[in-house]
Structure 1
């Protein structure tokens, strides 16, 4: 049974698709690219990579295969094992083999697997229908010279004529200025007297008001009949969608035993609720970002378990 198409289908939906006993295909977002040398534009995409150290069965591929082929979960697991055995035989005998729409595998001089992903497939759903394209270079110098010639031709055909503005007679303004100056001098004396009178009356009113305010303050009794209720602020918990998985167990007692072992080792271990397959996941820990989880997984590979793998819960 060929499982390539089912791996390809899952790569559109998940960031990590594990093939039990073989390795895991990981996807990473890459923003749109511009190649200035060739004037080429490339849309955003998911870059596919391969990690041969993640081999544990997380149930994702087997469950998808069972639902698509209408077979039991156990039969799906056996089908995956047979296909993986076939891949390993091909790479040992011929040194290379290919998985359709995913990439090519080969062995280097040190007998390590080298993976080269295909370029034609973009697993980013948001970029569906977008393809790369090449834009011809814009010849800016040619366009600038063309516009310059057109402007010169228009200037020759329709020359611009400047008409001097007629000077208006403003002699009547000087008489109005003399009248206003005389009126201003006469009004200044009266205005100062008026200001002095207003200031005296304002001071008298302010003094009386201040006396009444001081009296009310001395007699006031402060009492709050209906105090406001206390306010409780709830800080939202930080989302932890990235998990480093220590193992997934069919028997709950085995999961609990492994969980206790991790706690004794100093890990912030977590037990998740059983998944839809009835399996009990045990985590080394949960993290808010992919970078933190990836770094933690690398440390765990060195210190405790090279088969630890990354689980990403969809938001």
Structure 2
């Protein structure tokens, strides 16, 4: 069984893939980056890490293997357990476990599992098709030097135009100046008159508006008491799945049964297989969701599993 292939498939869709009794592979979105020295541009990606503390089976990996290989869920769990046992045996012998396109696992000096991620695959689907590229640095000083050189070779000179002495032009200029000043004075008087008329019209309109508002004012003697409604809306991207049903009526029935037992059950839509999914509840915090899943598997449904999905 190519376990790393199944883990890699799930890393495209989920932020946490647990390998029971070994640890969890976590992903975190990293923004696009520019290397200042090499002038290389790197697209946004999912950075893969490993957490040895998360070892409890959440059912995600086993359910996916069961679906792909068309085998029972319990058989998939047993196959994962055998693979993990083999990995631990190699690690205790000092060997490095290379998971293709995921990274390398190796015990450190303290006896804990260290992880070195692979940089050959980008698990961020939003960045599909984007790759690293390198470009030359842009130097703007070159353009400044070129402009300076051009100005030295072709200076711009302003030569005043020589005019003959024409005394009659002086009197024409004085007449034009007098007409301009007179026109500006008349224009200013006209504009002042318009401003005065606009102000009077505005005051009259305000008085009419105040009169209409006073006529329309009324008082409610016995107002109804204000009603306050508290609506609880579930949110978060971590959902504990109770089941998926081909017939929608069955999913509605399942929601009623779970709510009767105190769960905040609801339907979250139809998955890509055309099944109506029902969840026990949804959480914003991943650790809180995993703790709730652990309690549900112990006390209510051992086949429940965690779905990481952003709902519309």
Q: How would you bin the TM-score normalised by the shorter chain? A: 0.5 to 0.7
* Closer, same or farther: CA 132–295 of 1 in aligned 2, 3 Å: same
The question of 1:286 aligning with 2:283 is answered yes
Q: CA deviation at 1:54?
A: 1.4
The residue correspondences of 1:238-253 to structure 2 (distance < 5 A) are 239-241=234-236
The residue correspondences of 1:144-223 to structure 2 (distance < 5 A) are 144-155=144-155, 160-164=157-161, 168=169, 169-173=172-176
Whole-Å Cα distance in 1 between the matches of residues 11 and 63 of structure 2?
15
Q: CA deviation at 1:13?
A: 0.7
Contact 1:16 1:311 in 2 (8 A): no
Whole-Å Cα distance in 2 between the matches of residues 286 and 141 of structure 1?
54
* Closer, same or farther: CA 177–69 of 1 in aligned 2, 3 Å: closer
Q: CA deviation at 1:164?
A: 3.4
Q: Which has the larger radius of gyration?
A: 1
Whole-Å Cα distance in 2 between the matches of residues 273 and 52 of structure 1?
32
* Closer, same or farther: CA 111–161 of 1 in aligned 2, 3 Å: same
Q: CA deviation at 1:18?
A: 1.3
Q: Any gaps of 5 or more consecutive residues in structure 1?
A: 189-194, 196-201, 249-255, 261-268, 288-292, 301-308
Whole-Å Cα distance in 1 between the matches of residues 176 and 230 of structure 2?
72
Q: CA deviation at 1:272?
A: 5.2
After superposition, what is the alpha-carbon deviation per residue over 1:119-157, rounded to whole angstroms, capped at 9, x for unaligned?
1211101111111222222344344323322343344xx
Whole-Å Cα distance in 2 between the matches of residues 150 and 88 of structure 1?
72
Q: CA deviation at 1:34?
A: 1.6
Q: CA deviation at 1:90?
A: 1.3
Contact 2:18 2:55 in 1 (8 A): yes
Q: CA deviation at 1:313?
A: 3.9
The question of 1:56 aligning with 2:35 is answered no
The residue correspondences of 1:290-301 to structure 2 (distance < 5 A) are 293=285
After superposition, what is the alpha-carbon deviation per residue over 1:85-128, rounded to whole angstroms, capped at 9, x for unaligned?
11111111233211111010111111111011101211101111
Moved more, 5-14 or 57-66: 57-66
Q: Any gaps of 5 or more consecutive residues in structure 2?
A: 194-199, 243-257, 272-277, 292-304
Whole-Å Cα distance in 2 between the matches of residues 177 and 5 of structure 1?
87
